[in-house]
Amino acid sequence: MVRVAISLSDSASVWDNTALDRQPRRVARFVQGIAVEGPRWPQWTSMALTQAPGLFGP
């Protein structure tokens, strides 16, 4: 679902807010479904997102 939303958005940011002792951090930013910053996925990130075909460019 997240992968589809990213691919359909003009721009999208993905945040990691799992640590209680630090501020949320942006791990990826996308424009037109293409990564323009990152991604720096946490280890627990689903392969459905990290291995998404076409999500990071043509």
φ and ψ at residue 52, rounded to 5 degrees: -65, 115
Residue 47 CA, chain-centre distance (Å), reads 12
pTM value?
Answer: 0.75
Write down the mean pLDDT value for the chain: 85
Domain spans of the chain, in order of start? 1-17+24-40
At 5-53, the pLDDT tens digits run: 888 999 999 999 998 999 999 999 999 988 898 788 888 888 877 876 6
- Separation of alpha carbons 40 and 8, rounded Å: 21
Q: Confidence class of residue 55 from pLDDT cuts 50, 70 and 90? A: low
> Can you tell me the distance from the alpha carbon of 56 to that of 20, in angstroms, rounded to the nearest whole number?
30
- 31: phi then psi, degrees, rounded to nearest 5: -130, 125
The pLDDT of residue 58 is above 60: no
Show Cβ contacts of residue 24 under 8 Å, excluding neighbours closer than 6 positions.
15, 16, 17
